[in-house]
Amino acid sequence: MKKFLGFGSAALALLISGCAQKNVVYGKPDNTPYDTKACNKALASGSEVLKEQKIDKIVVFKSKRKLYTYKKGKVVDVFRISLGKNGDKGPKVAMGDYKTPEGDYCIVRKKCDPRLYKSLMISYPSARDIALAKEKGVDPGNYITIHGQPKWNADGHGDKYTLAHDWTEGCMAVSNSAMDDLWCAVEVGVTIEIHA
């Protein structure tokens, strides 16, 4: 594991710690954010979505670690994903369970993320999720997204490793190049189905 792309245990610690962890490079905090100014400017104007690339649905199969995009019932793209470290051990029920939700949701927000490149926030928790959590006496958590890679992997040199391991707190992580494709194709309101 120490030979992991020259990053050693620091990179492994980042992957194990989940998507809320600060970026770590060579064992030291890396507080340099992604430059979000141009991203936020395009987002504010709505110019980040390319009309010819727009999709109308996302479908995730957690067991396959795959995210499919659809337009008018036809598959447009397929992307490899990482999940929460307990992502395929049933649906998310509680904050901190490191599980990825299952069910029908939609994209409610797009964010230029200073830590994880860009993110697409989903409408978790749903009324069903809230009721299940209440029944179990737990907080369902929130802020589940499809997001890009941590700063140390901005250029994608570690994608082979990060996409082969589940390391988020319940989010679905894609490569930054995949996020660029999604960013141009997804508008707020697009539906997302997440299956086991």
Give the count of domains, the chain: 1
* Residue 171, in any domain of the structure: yes
* Residue 106, in any domain of the structure: yes
- Mind listing the pLDDT tens digit for each residue in 70-102? 999 999 999 999 999 999 899 999 999 999 999
Looking at residue 18, its pLDDT comes to 42
Q: Which domain holds residue 190?
A: 34-195
Q: How far is CA 192 from CA 47, 149, 155, 177, in A?
A: 22, 20, 27, 20
- The secondary structure of 49-79 as a DSSP string is S-GGG--SEEEEEGGGTEEEEEETTEEEEEE
* Residue 105, in any domain of the structure: yes
* Residue 26, in any domain of the structure: no
Q: Domain of 101: which CATH number?
A: 2.40.440.10
Q: What residues in the chain have per-residue pLDDT under 50? A: 1-27, 30
* Residue 132, in any domain of the structure: yes
* Residue 25, in any domain of the structure: no
* Residue 184, in any domain of the structure: yes
44: exposed, middle or buried (Cβ count in 10 Å: 0-12, 13-18, 19+): exposed
pTM of the model: 0.84
* Residue 124, in any domain of the structure: yes
